[in-house]
Structure 1
Amino acid sequence: MKYFKTLWVVLLIAVPLGASLQADTGGVSSLRGDLDLDKSAAASDFKTIPDDRKPLHRDYLHQPPLIPHQIRDYHIDTNSNKCLSCHSWGNYKSSGATKISLTHYDARNGQQLSDVSPRRYFCLQCHVPQVNAKPLVGNQFESVESMN
């Protein structure tokens, strides 16, 4: 507690009242932009996700498939999972959806379960919808040739 009191006194001495805090970024621009620390950036627009389309190609081996449809308002918690209403082994044929992989039924110890493994139950940890958005940072990623 003594440390925080000392830090507060140092801040009061070092920063005049009414002055805004300017971060020393070392010349690196953050995703927030060039805003003072006490300012909020405007929220970016929502990206448009097409309603339904064919499964999207994968760019690398073992990439989790991308979600080719809108998922806003999908409910996933410990009691229910909207994804399984179409993608489970019991429902995929009637819904026309892709069935989930057998690997999603494997327990941590390698045992095959009769239901989706708890570690694979929260789909959005790995699977995400894809939009045609400008990359946040530059990169030179090239997809695996054999995947196209």
Structure 2
Amino acid sequence: MNKNTLALIPKWDEKGNLNTEVFESKHTFVADGKPNEIIKNSMLYYGTEYNGVRQATKEMMGYSYRIPICISLPLGIYTFPLNSSKSDASIWLMENQILSFTQIEKGSTTVNFYEGISLTIDYPVNLIKNSIKRTTEYRQTLLTRNQ
């Protein structure tokens, strides 16, 4: 993951293995490993640890589900899951890359990213709206505490 990453989408291969479709501003590719493994490995690369950040976020913000995560404070990479953050098959979206989102039908939303890429996902618009709000509040709290 890097500052150009837009989304991590679970993708099963023909053998039934769960991998991750990585959407970036210039290209899309499939990476070996589950989305939450990609998150955890990226955090280690940037010098943080998933369980510690998750626990700190829970205590800092009082969240107990769909907990947003800071991948890299210096790079401003913040993400949130659309399922439980413990789920192997959750979609993860990068909060700072989202331009807008639109309800297509009940339970389906198109997410528009700044780079002109759009993804339609089977999640209600209010879940996405609330997740973005929570991640923005978390980012602001974290930045204030780290000044």
TM-score normalised to structure 2 length: 0.24
Higher Cα Rg: structure 1 or 2? 1
Kindly indicate whether structure 1 or structure 2 has the higher relative contact order, using CA contacts under 8 Å at least 6 residues apart.
Answer: 1
- Of Structure 1 and Structure 2, the greater strand share is in 2
Q: Point out the structure with the larger helix share.
A: 2
TM-score, structure 1 normalization: 0.24
